[in-house]
Amino acid sequence: MHTTHLIHNPAGEKGVPILEAKEVTARFGSREAVIQRASFTIERGGFVFLLGPSGSGKTTLLRLLFGDIRPIEGAVFYGRINLRNMRGRRMAYYRREVSFIFQDFKLLPRRTVFENIALALRVTGASSRTIREKVDEIIPRVGLAHRRDAYPSEISGGEQQRVSIARAMVNEPNVLLADEPTGNLDPRMSTEILDLFEKFNFRGTTVVVATHDAAMAASRRQPILRIERRRVIEDIA
């Protein structure tokens, strides 16, 4: 398994910026800027909601933080590293430290729950034994022990979401970026998923959850980054 770390994330070292946007302007799939001159800081070990209505630019902002799109102005930093300077192998390593949970789950239909989760470890070159141990450890934590060998088409939307969470968390990333992770789930399932994120956060992972559900974000008493008219406003709860 590859052990190179772009930055170290020792548990308990809170309050230090882990992701930072400085005067970032970005567009995605349009001529107009979706995000304009956004500046904010996400602290190590923090739990932040990114709140805004549909189409407000939440996904664009998450993808900026993930290094999947580049800002047309400004810069995004991971620790002290400017994402603009991160390419090739370094970007691959970055994505092992910063995981993304996609709105549409992005599971491979021909692979079982186990194999889908294992994929995140396989790309790091982990041994079969490590993969088996880690995947078998995380599967019960996300409540999928009985679905280990099922294919995505055989499980519910909520279960698919939990597979994608397990895949994002299995290699213990420093940061977890989740794009509308409760968007398609009922309230009970949404609560379960957020509880799961809080458990990961308690273990030291920085969590950023994009949502349009203001009530849900408010109920968790966590810092909120609000997107309003292409601007990002820090709203400390």
Partner 1 sequence: MMRLFREALLNVRHGGVVSLLAVVIVALTAALFSSLYLVRNAVYAEAAQFEKNAGAAAFIMDELSEEEVKQLEKTILAMESVERTHIVWKDEALQRGQKMFGDDSVLMLQGFEENPFPVAIEAFAGEEYRNAESMRKMAEEMKQLEGVEDVVFENEAMEQLDKMKRVAFLLGGLIAAVSMVVIAFSIMLTVYARREEIAILRLLGATYGYIRIPLLLQGLLEGLFGSGLGMLILYGLYWQYGASIGFTSFLKPEQMGIVAAGATLVGMLAGMAPLRKHIRAMN
- Contact residues: partner 1, CB under 8 A: 66-68, 70, 86-89, 91-96, 100, 102, 106, 108, 110-111, 119-120, 122-125, 167
User: For residue 133, how far is the Cα from the chain centroid?
Assistant: 23
- Least Å distance, CB 176 to partner 1, is 13
List the helix and strand counts (H, then E) for the chain.
7, 10
- Least Å distance, CB 217 to partner 1, is 25
- 89 vs 146 by CB, closer to partner 1: 89
Structure tokens at 216: 């849900």
- 34 vs 101 by CB, closer to partner 1: 101
CA distance 237 to 220: 9
- Least Å distance, CB 111 to partner 1, is 7
- 94 vs 114 by CB, closer to partner 1: 94
CA distance 53 to 48: 16
- 28 vs 93 by CB, closer to partner 1: 93
DSSP state of 154: G
- Least Å distance, CB 109 to partner 1, is 9
- 40 vs 94 by CB, closer to partner 1: 94
The answer to whether 171 touches 121, Cβ cutoff 8 Å, is: yes
Count CA within 13 A, CB hemisphere, residue 29. 6
- Least Å distance, CB 86 to partner 1, is 7
CA distance 164 to 101: 6
User: For residue 212, how far is the Cα from the chain centroid?
Assistant: 16
